[in-house]
Amino acid sequence: MTEQKEPTTVCGPAVTELTVTEPAPLPLTEHNIKTEQCGLLRVYVQGDLDTKGTPGLDGKCVFLTVHDMGSNHTSIMKFINHPTMFQISSRSVFLHVVLPGQEPGAQDLEEDTHFPSMQELGGDLVCVLDQLKIKLVLGLGEGAGANILARFGMLHPSRCLGLVLVHPTSTTAGVMEHFKDKIIGWKLENIGHNPTTEQYLVFHKFGERVMMAKDKEGAMEEFKDKLHEEINPKNLKCYVESFMNRTDISSLLEENLKCDTLLVVGDKSSFLHTTETMYQHTDKSKTSILRIDDVGDVLVEAPGKVAQSILLFCQGIGLLTSVSFVDRMRTLSTNSNDGARRTSLMSMEEYDKPNMKRFSVSGRGEEMEGDK
């Protein structure tokens, strides 16, 4: 049994205000990848694959991303293009997987189309790596996409360097979740986008209490606008049903999820409980959990904190080691829209200790849960 150490707090020097300029967008190319069970998967490659090199050495880090329900690759790209991600994005290549029928302006899927299960999607992601000639990737997934990547990590451990799972879940859908799914599925099929569906997806993305938060209205309206403009409602129904019919992987995690994994969740997220539950079933020497205070959607509301945590996670497993301490400070610039600057950092030496695995981030900085 793995020995777990008592959590401690590590304080760093005060953060100096630094200016982060808007980086130039990375080149984007489209690929159609033939898979064994999922048909064609559309993959957008952000960055130059020819310069990928050897991960952890002189080459770039290769991320494999999978989006949540009600969105597509553009939502993760918005986070990646944020100025606080520059030190990561400028040294990385991103493979954005778009699930069947979820691309902007997609036509209705054929009536007899089999929409793949979460397990089938997790298994077939390796086809993306094989056809693009990528040996190893670091997974970055959100919501339902995080569940798919967790399955990929267990099915193909030799191809997965690590996982960053934002608002993941490992359990099956509950009774009430299934009931809501039936109503939402019927409305998406027969009415299209509607207030009930919007409310469900906003809750899914931003969390329960955010519905009353005035400062989140802009982000919610932008999300609903993109939902109407980009996402085909009948195809979205297929993704929702696949996620609702997911199998429970909790009992498999400790033995089969062998790569280093970072779970990220906002403490106002609808996924808080399910992410905590997933963490309890993992190998604590391999998996850490980051809870960000006072936010629902961490990628929209706290991109700087997530970027800094991803960078530290990558460096802890030997990736992006060329980023200096000063460069890391740049992700904490006041240009970030997180609302508050962090004033302390975890040192790399402490971050690499495998059992310091549970901490939260707030506007005051990082605090270990044991110190609260």
Q: What is the mean pLDDT of residues 239-256?
A: 93
Amino acid (one-letter) located at 293:
D
Q: Output 271 or 33, whichever has higher pLDDT.
A: 33
Nearest residue to 165 (alpha-carbon basis) of 252, 271, 321: 271
Q: Which of 36-50, 225-239, 254-268, 278-292 has the lowest mean pLDDT?
A: 225-239
pLDDT at 364 over 80: no
Task: Kindly write down the DSSP assignment for every residue of 61-123, as one continuous string.
Answer: EEEEEE--TT--HHHHHHHHTSGGGHHHHTTEEEEEEE-TT-STTPPPPPTT--PPPHHHHHH
**What's the token pair of residue 241?**
């049903």
Task: Kindly write down the DSSP assignment for every residue of 240-257, as one continuous string.
Answer: HHHHHTPPP-HHHHHHH-
Residues counted in the chain: 372
Q: What is the pLDDT of residue 30?
A: 95
Q: What is the pLDDT of residue 367?
A: 40
8 A C-beta contact, residue 282 and residue 170: no
**What's the token pair of residue 30?**
């489209």
Q: Output 229 or 122, whichever has higher pLDDT.
A: 122
In sequence order, what are the residues at sequence separation of 6 or more whose Cβ sits closer than 8 angstroms to the Cβ of residue 186?
A: none
Q: What is the pLDDT of residue 160?
A: 97
Spacing of C-alpha 43 from chain mean position? 16
pLDDT band, very low/low/confident/very high, at 3 (cuts 50, 70, 90): very low
Q: pLDDT tens for residues 129-150?
A: 999 999 999 999 999 999 999 9
Q: What is the pLDDT of residue 154?
A: 98
Q: What is the pLDDT of residue 174?
A: 56
Q: Output 229 or 303, whichever has higher pLDDT.
A: 303
Q: pLDDT tens for residues 17-56?
A: 344 455 566 789 999 999 999 999 999 999 988 766 556 4
Q: What is the pTM of this model?
A: 0.76
Q: What is the pLDDT of residue 222?
A: 62
Q: Output 296 or 195, whichever has higher pLDDT.
A: 296
**What's the token pair of residue 186?**
């019927």
pLDDT at 339 over 70: no
pLDDT band, very low/low/confident/very high, at 346 (cuts 50, 70, 90): very low
Q: Output 15 or 304, whichever has higher pLDDT.
A: 304
Report the alpha-carbon distance of residue 162 to residue 262 in Å, rounded. 8
Amino acid (one-letter) located at 288:
S
pLDDT at 280 over 50: yes
